[in-house]
Amino acid sequence: MYEAVYAAPDGDTPVAEFVETAAEYGYGGVVVRNHGDARADYDAAALSETHGVDVVEGVEIRAEDPSRASGYVGSHRETATVVVVHGGTNALNRFAVEQPAVDVLAHPMTGDGDVNHVLAKTAAENGVRLELSLRPVLRAEGGERVRALRDLRKLRELVSEFDAPYVVSADPRSHLQLRAPRELVALGDVVDIGREAAEAGLAEWGALAERNRHRASDAFVEPGVTLRDADDEGNQ
């Protein structure tokens, strides 16, 4: 299972310390999802080799409107393994789920944002993962926490109804906010996501990274076809 983190300068902890802690907690990988204007400086390959944890170079696009977000998606798609759009407004939520180049719509229910059956269906059609964030459940209090639970359950129901892809994260901004996979799975069960669904959502970050790395490789031709497949077909 993987966790997606905000490292310094976007968060409080350097990437190396996040990776070391994630390894201790039993994670198989860490996606560094810093916003585009606060990218971290790190050697993903070296950290992966040192700690035995897959370090994935990601980016979370934060923009004022869809037109700017579109430009950022185009520029980051070639360099980042996982591309996330920071949602939270209906316009950005709608933009993100309509873009096959976007991997994840993050924080769709925050701020003025919402997800309905149309957006969930569109996300399913375009393969855009909706994020089920456990952060507000872990760290909010009072009415804010109640609203977060309500929104999380609504999003889970939509994901289930329309078979939309999704990821799960606690959105840690410090290594002290990391929770072991078993803790997040147990929490997912408590808040009605379900244990198996929580496990699948944590694992989905790794599946995304594997898929996108394959697509970026020289062997990739199109979904379902590699150079070897194409050569074999040509030789028949």
- According to the model, what pLDDT value does residue 231 have? 53
Q: Which residue ranges in the chain fall short of pLDDT 70?
A: 218-236
SS3 195: helix
- CATH among 3.20.20.70, 3.65.10.10, 3.20.20.140, 3.40.50.170 for 2-234: 3.20.20.140
What tokens does 52 get? Answer: 């035995």
- According to the model, what pLDDT value does residue 143 have? 76
- According to the model, what pLDDT value does residue 226 have? 47
3-state SS of 154-166 is: HHHHHHHHHCCCE
The answer to whether 203 touches 2, Cβ cutoff 8 Å, is yes
State the CB neighbour count (10 A cutoff) for residue 198: 24
Phi-psi region of 18 (alpha: psi -120 to 50; beta: other; left: phi over 0): alpha
What is the chain's length? 236
pTM (2 decimals)?
0.89
37-62 residue pLDDT tens: 999 999 999 999 999 999 999 999 99
Identify the CA nearest to 17 among candidates 50, 60, 58.
Answer: 50
The residues spanned by each domain of the chain are: 2-234
Evaluate the CA torsion angle 224, 227, 228, 230 in order and state its sign: positive
Task: State the DSSP string of 97-115.
Answer: HT-TT--EEESTTSTT---
Structure-token match 């996982």, residue found: 82
Measured in degrees and rounded to the nearest 5, phi and psi for residue 36 equal -60, -25
The answer to whether 119 touches 94, Cβ cutoff 8 Å, is yes
- According to the model, what pLDDT value does residue 229 have? 52
User: What is the C-alpha separation between 58 and 84, in angstroms, rounded?
Assistant: 8
CA diameter of the chain: 66
